Amino acid sequence: MSELSLLLSTQPVLLYTLVALLGLIVGSFLNVVIHRLPLMLERAWAAECAELRGEPPAAQERFDLLWPPSHCPACERPVRPLENLPVLGWLWLRGRCAGCGTPIPLRYPLIEAGCGLLSLVVVWRFGWSLQTPAALALTWLLLALAVIDLRTFLLPDALTLPGLWAGLALALVPVLVPLRDAVIGAMAGFLVLWSVYHVFRLLTGREGMGRGDFKLLALLGAWLGWAQLPFVLLASAGVGAVIGILLRVAGQLDAGRPLPFGPFLAAAGWIALLWGQELTTAYLRSVGL
Ligand SMILES: [Zn+2]
């Protein structure tokens, strides 16, 4: 063992601090993904539609996760390095662009702080192990997916599909669950929601959920194994229904307007990632098995 790994495996506080800082920095990058990925998809779809209509391709400036550099969308003022510091940058600017005073959404520091906190919980749970980097990667992916779905009702294939493959690849090692559990989990996760979607559509003529939800549950099945799917489904559907009703009663959600399901799946999946084994064991014991 190298000196660094010896140090990190014997000094949990140092490990926790480093992972929490890493989480803050990743949260800052997730803000970019959350803001830009849906815009990148919109641009790609618009270009495809134009191509289908036989229009000449419109000249587009480069726009992806790395380019252009972070700037104020209102006045184009570039974000300076110190202002880019997670949470501190936002506090330093008091939540406003230094150039034009346009408010910077509270979402930015919240996601950075939230990502740091969730990362800390992951390392506290898994410690110095191979599971920690895998669980961190899943945590960050789920956080990005949940917020994108909340804002845009999209669960981009660009995140769900590589995430699904990554979960299967990790099961080859295996890191979190054996390969067999992961493959069955991915298939079952997809099929369950695919069936619910089609039955609901046949009965009501409406779409009860987005197709991205199938892929997200397949992803969770691949990472967590099929045995966690009942918990993930029950918890996400149950909590989703309660919150939907509460929002409707409070007048925050109009009748017929859907609630994105992705954030509930992501949250239940994250809880299953950390405490799924314990929850399953406790449940089986409570029913006398
Ligand atoms: Zn500005």
How many domains does the chain fold into?
A: 2
Which residue segment(s) compose the domain that 61 sits in? 1-128
Distance from the CA of 90 to the center of ligand 1, in angstroms?
13
pLDDT, position 207: 81
Same domain, 124 and 180: no
Q: Residue 2 to residues 5, 15, 166: CA-CA distances in angstroms?
A: 5, 15, 28
Interatomic CA distance for residues 280 and 278, integer angstroms? 5
Name beta bridge partners: 78.
71
Distance from the CA of 96 to the center of ligand 1, in angstroms?
8
Q: Residue 7 to residues 22, 125, 127, 135: CA-CA distances in angstroms?
A: 17, 18, 13, 21
Same domain, 142 and 283: yes
Among the listed residues 108, 154, 137, the one whose alpha carbon sits nearest the alpha carbon of residue 263: 154
Distance from the CA of 177 to the center of ligand 1, in angstroms?
47
Distance from the CA of 202 to the center of ligand 1, in angstroms?
49
Same domain, 264 and 245: yes
Distance from the CA of 109 to the center of ligand 1, in angstroms?
17
Q: One digit per residue, pLDDT tens: the chain, 289 residues?
A: 688 889 989 999 999 999 999 999 999 999 999 999 999 999 999 999 999 999 887 777 889 998 999 999 899 999 998 898 999 999 999 999 999 999 999 999 999 999 999 999 999 999 999 999 999 999 999 999 999 999 999 999 999 999 999 999 999 999 999 999 999 999 999 999 999 999 999 998 888 788 899 999 999 999 999 999 999 999 999 999 999 999 989 888 877 778 899 999 999 999 999 999 898 888 888 888 7
* Residue that finishes a domain, picked among 104, 128, 152: 128
Same domain, 96 and 119: yes
pLDDT, position 241: 92
Distance from the CA of 98 to the center of ligand 1, in angstroms?
6
Tokens of 144: 């990005």
Distance from the CA of 85 to the center of ligand 1, in angstroms?
17
Distance from the CA of 281 to the center of ligand 1, in angstroms?
53
Same domain, 206 and 273: yes
pLDDT, position 287: 85
Three-state helix/strand/coil letters over 133-199: HHHHHHHHHHHHHHHHHHHHCCCCHHHHHHHHHHHHHHHHCCCCCCHHHHHHHHHHHHHHHHHHHHH
pLDDT, position 101: 93
pLDDT, position 58: 75
Interatomic CA distance for residues 57 and 62, integer angstroms? 14
* Residue that finishes a domain, picked among 128, 162, 194: 128
pLDDT, position 1: 63
* pTM of the entire predicted model: 0.94
Same domain, 256 and 270: yes
pLDDT, position 212: 94
Same domain, 176 and 214: yes
Distance from the CA of 103 to the center of ligand 1, in angstroms?
8
Interatomic CA distance for residues 103 and 208, integer angstroms? 35
pLDDT, position 25: 97
* Residue that finishes a domain, picked among 96, 128, 160: 128
Among the listed residues 187, 184, 107, 176, the one whose alpha carbon sits nearest the alpha carbon of residue 139: 176
Distance from the CA of 105 to the center of ligand 1, in angstroms?
12
